[in-house]
Structure 1
Amino acid sequence: MCSLFGLIDFKECLSTHTKNKILNTLARECQVRGTDATGIAYNFNDRLRIYKRPLPARKMKIHIPHDVNVVMGHTRMTTQGNAQFNQNNHPFFGHVDGNSFALAHNGVLWNDKELRMEESLPMTRVETDSYVAVQLLELQKTLDFDSLKTMAEKVEGSFVFTVLDKDNSIWFVIGDNPLCIMFYDGFLIYASTQEILCKTIKKLKLTAPSDILEPKEGEILKIDRNGRITTGAFAPRTSYEHWWRRYSPYYRDYCVDTPPNYDDLFSVAKAFGVSADEVQALLDYGCSEEEIEEMLYDPTLLHEMTGELLYAY
């Protein structure tokens, strides 16, 4: 599990200082979904720049240059590919038709190895499953709705992809993972969950957004540097588990409507010296049981995060 985040200042109404403040706050709120690495991508002086480090967002200062108005970011929780080798972290460089693009992914792909063999993709030092999406786009030698559709219909797994192109458009390819975009008069911000954005705007003391967009599975959105939105679509590969969760009346009746029982989680957390209040704060924030169990192995970070949640407001 990771988090995507970013900013488009389509009316160029924000100062560089304000944009950096927004991006740093966004990234730090996103680290609830991943602390192994943090990265951003942007265009500057007609060149795509990617800055990423194997550090949690709270330890990495984001500083974009003057006149950068479109930024795409990512915080990572490692599932495949050691984060200490920076080539495994997001965003990734890609090249089509003589131009560069950057790609970031939230989710897990499970047919990346099969695709590399089936499509005869070149060997690479990058070990991360997400990188196969870059290679599939490069194979098509173009970046547009058709190439993104083809890529999205070949990969299997959970995903939302964001792609920053040379023209400062961000493309959003929506699988079965969440994404939320909040619009203001002159700019927009986005992240993997609405909860992250709500925490961000509260810390930044921003007003309520003028519009909120949560694109659905199978949608492809292109938002250009001027804030214009164009859309496309693809046919998602629906796994049996996905079908069961979405359509089964048994799941709806006996799973969705049954309140979860976290007694085991509270017991395990207590053994790690984590209080029930801290666990509840993380649950209220939107963390899953699996995510909290993962955090128990990094107690310093967990106590820091829960301290902010319990006492910040």
Structure 2
Amino acid sequence: MEIPCALHLKSLQTMAEQVEGSFVFTVLDEEDSLYFVRGENPLTIYHFPKRGIYVYASTKDLLDKALLRFGNLGEHPVEVKQQCGDILKLTANGETHRATFDDSHLFTLSYYPRLTSYYFPRPTEQSYLDELKSVAMTFGYTPEEIDELYLQGITPEEIEEYLYCGVEV
């Protein structure tokens, strides 16, 4: 017996409030509505109103580079703003619906500013991290994500190995 799953803004709100860590979820329902549930991870969404299409990627830089490769779409995109704690529903006929969830349980450095003073890298490590951040952007990672990995105790060497080889950190 199959148990039906009720997918809607409220059920996604409940789910997001149970998740820990850093995340963005995208969910497609049976009616072809697309949901974006944004935690602390980066997300950029562009809308091309004349064409009726949306495109998205983890970072603005990555999305802009992809659109440059794709070519001219004949109009400038409108950025769809979304922040941590937001849920966005895009229906198949182009309607948008929004909701929010309580994101106060998510760990962010902004909630714990004194923690950063304990984790400042040594000067030689800092220049290495700066190089990693610039390289990481070509792989779709933001400098903030590299800082977060470092603050979690992952060494710069392990971060580099992950970027180039996909080895779990």
Above 0.5 in TM-score? yes
TM range (shorter): 0.5 to 0.7
1:109-153 Cα shifts (integer Å, max 9, x gaps)? xxxxxxxxxxxxxxxxxxxxxxxxxxxxxxxx3111111111111
Q: 1:261 aligns with which of 126, 133, 142?
A: 126
Tell me the secondary structure at the aligned position of residue 17 of structure 2. Answer: helix
The one of the two structures with greater contact order (alpha-carbon pairs below 8 A, sep at least 6) is: 2
| 8 Å contact kept, 1:96–1:142 | no
Matched with 1:282 is: 135
Matched with 2:71 is: 205
Matched with 1:177 is: 41
CA shift for structure 1 position 253: 8.3
- Unaligned residue ranges in structure 1 (runs of 5+): 1-94, 98-140, 267-278, 299-313
Matched with 1:78 is: none
Is 1:222 the equivalent of 2:89? yes
Tell me the secondary structure at the aligned position of residue 147 of structure 1. Answer: helix
C-alpha change, 1:284 and 1:144, in structure 2 (3 Å) is closer
Identity %: 32
C-alpha change, 1:200 and 1:166, in structure 2 (3 Å) is same
- Unaligned residue ranges in structure 2 (runs of 5+): 147-155
CA shift for structure 1 position 226: 2.1
Tell me the secondary structure at the aligned position of residue 246 of structure 1. Answer: coil
Compute the RMSD of aligned alpha carbons: 3.3
Alignment of 1:1-313 (within 5 A): 97=4, 141-184=5-48, 185-186=50-51, 187-206=53-72, 209-239=76-106, 241-242=107-108, 245-248=109-112, 250=114, 261-263=126-128, 282-285=135-138, 287=141, 288=146, 291-297=159-165
Report the AA paired with residue 209 of structure 1. H
Aligned length: 144
CA shift for structure 1 position 250: 4.4
| 8 Å contact kept, 2:136–2:163 | no
TM-score of the aligned structures, taking structure 2 as reference length: 0.68
C-alpha change, 1:213 and 1:254, in structure 2 (3 Å) is farther
Tell me the secondary structure at the aligned position of residue 69 of structure 2. Answer: helix
In the alignment, the residues of structure 1 paired with residue 136 and residue 165 of structure 2 have an alpha-carbon distance, to the nearest angstrom, of 17
Q: Which has the higher strand share?
A: 1
C-alpha change, 1:142 and 1:283, in structure 2 (3 Å) is closer
Report the AA paired with residue 162 of structure 1. T
Tell me the secondary structure at the aligned position of residue 197 of structure 1. Answer: helix
